[in-house]
C-alpha cells in the first residue's frame, strides 16, 4: 500500500473482468464451521469468475504464491479473498497483488472468519449459506472496482510526544537519537511523571530518576 504507484494495470468500470476467488480455511478457524469447498465451488459459477478455489492459509507464503501464480497464469485482474477481517489482512493481500502488477484497490475481501464462522459456530449450514452470500457480494463488488492511486505528498519529519512520563521520555529520546526532531509536551512543571515519584525500582533496585 505504501508503494501504491499509478503505473499498475488500470481498470475502468464496465470492462470485462477476470476474477480469482480464494476461500481460506484459516486452518480450522473457518473450515470447522463453513464448508469452504462448497463455497468455492458455488463461486466458480459466478459471472466473471475465472478461478475459484479453497486454500488452507491464504496469507501464508505458499498461499500467496499460489494466488500470484494464478494471477499471472490466468491473467486475473480482480481478486476476492474470503478469509479473515480486512482490518487484519487487507494490507497483506493488497501488497500481494501489487507485487504481480495489479493495482492494490482491485482486491476485495469477504470476512468469513470474524463475521461468519466465529459468530455462527453452532449453525454450520446457515453459516455456509451466509458465506456463499458474502462471497457473491464480494464478487459483485469486485466487478465494479477500479484502480486507484494515492498522491505523494511531503511529510514533516518531526514528532509530537504528548506526556513526559517514562514512556514519553523514552519515545522522545529514541526518536531524537535517530535524528528526528521531537516536540515534547508535558502539562506539569517537570517531566518524570509517576515514575519519578517511585522509590527504588525493580529489578535494579536503584533510584527511578
Partner 1 sequence: MTDVGRHPKIKLHTMSEVIAVEGYVGNFNVSILKRARYVDEKDCTACGDCAKACPVVRPDEFNVGLSTRKAIFTPFPQSVPSAYVVNINECLGHNPSVCAKCMDACEKGCINFHMSDEEIKERVGSIVVATGLEPYDPTELDEYGYTRFENVLTSLEFERLINAGGPTKGELIRSTDRRRPKSIGFIQCVGSRSVRKGGNYCSNVCCMNTIKSTLVLKEHYPDVNIKVFYIDIRAFGKGFEDLYMRSRRSGVNYLRGLPGTVEELPDRSLRVAVENTASGVLEFHDLDMLVLAIGIKPAKSAQKIREMLGLQLTPDGFFLEAHPKLQPVDAATRGVFYAGCAEGPKDIKESVTQASAAAARSIRLMHKGEIITEPITSVVIPGQCKSCGICAEVCPYNAITVDVKKKMPALINSAACAGCGTCAAECTFDAIIMNHFTDDQIICQIDTLLEDKAQEKVLVFACNWCSYAGADYAGVSRLQYPASVNIIRTMCSGRVDKKFIWHAFLKGAPVVLVSGCHIGDCHYIDANHWTQKRVQKLQKRMEKLGIKPDRLQLEWISAAEGVRFAGVMNKMEKIRQEVSSQEIADTIKLLNRRKKQALSSD
Q: Per rule CB under 8 A, is residue 28 in the interface with partner 1?
A: no
The C-alpha cell that represents 202 in the structure block: 525493580
Least spacing, CB of residue 69 vs partner 1, in Å: 26
Q: For residue 19, give the 3-state DSSP assignment.
A: strand
In the window 107-146, what residues touch partner 1 (CB under 8 A)? 111, 113-116, 118-123, 126-127, 129-130, 133-134, 136-137, 139-141, 143-145
| Number of CB atoms found within 10 A of residue 202's CB | 6
Among 12, 28, 73, 194, binds partner 1 (CB under 8 A): 194
* Cβ distance to partner 1 smaller for residue 50 or 148: 148
Closest by alpha carbon to 34, among 109, 110, 113?
Answer: 113
| Number of CB atoms found within 10 A of residue 115's CB | 15
Q: Per rule CB under 8 A, is residue 203 in the interface with partner 1?
A: yes
d(CA 111, CA 13): 24
Q: Where do we find the cell 502539562?
A: 187
Among 3, 7, 61, 206, binds partner 1 (CB under 8 A): 3
Give the x/- contact pattern for partner 1 in 88-107, rule: CB under 8 A: x----------------x--
The C-alpha cell that represents 99 in the structure block: 507485487
Q: Per rule CB under 8 A, is residue 18 in the interface with partner 1?
A: no
In the window 161-190, what residues touch partner 1 (CB under 8 A)? 161-190
d(CA 101, CA 98): 5
Amino acid at each position: 500500500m505504501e508503494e501504491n504507484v499509478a503505473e499498475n494495470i488500470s481498470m475502468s468500470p464496465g470492462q470485462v473482468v477476470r476474477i480469482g476467488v480464494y476461500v481460506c480455511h484459516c486452518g480450522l478457524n473457518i473450515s470447522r464451521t463453513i464448508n469452504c469447498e462448497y463455497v468455492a465451488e458455488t463461486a466458480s459459477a459466478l459471472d466473471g469468475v475465472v478461478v475459484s478455489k479453497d486454500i488452507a492459509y491464504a496469507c501464508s507464503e505458499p498461499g500467496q504464491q499460489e494466488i500470484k501464480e494464478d494471477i499471472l497464469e490466468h491473467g486475473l485482474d480482480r481478486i476476492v479473498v474470503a478469509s479473515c477481517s480486512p482490518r487484519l489482512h487487507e494490507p497483506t493481500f493488497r501488497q500481494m497483488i501489487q507485487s504481480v502488477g495489479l493495482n492494490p484497490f482491485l482486491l476485495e475481501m469477504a470476512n468469513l472468519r470474524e463475521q461468519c464462522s466465529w459468530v455462527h459456530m453452532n449453525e454450520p449450514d446457515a453459516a455456509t449459506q451466509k458465506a456463499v452470500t458474502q462471497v457473491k457480494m464480494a464478487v459483485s463488488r469486485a466487478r465494479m472496482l477500479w484502480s486507484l492511486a494515492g498522491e505523494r505528498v511531503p511529510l514533516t519529519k518531526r514528532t509530537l510526544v504528548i506526556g513526559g512520563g517514562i514512556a514519553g521520555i523514552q519515545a522522545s529520546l529514541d526518536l531524537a537519537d535517530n535524528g528526528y526532531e521531537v516536540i515534547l509536551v508535558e502539562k506539569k512543571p517537570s517531566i518524570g511523571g509517576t515514575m519519578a515519584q517511585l522509590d527504588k525500582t525493580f529489578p535494579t533496585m536503584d533510584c527511578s530518576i
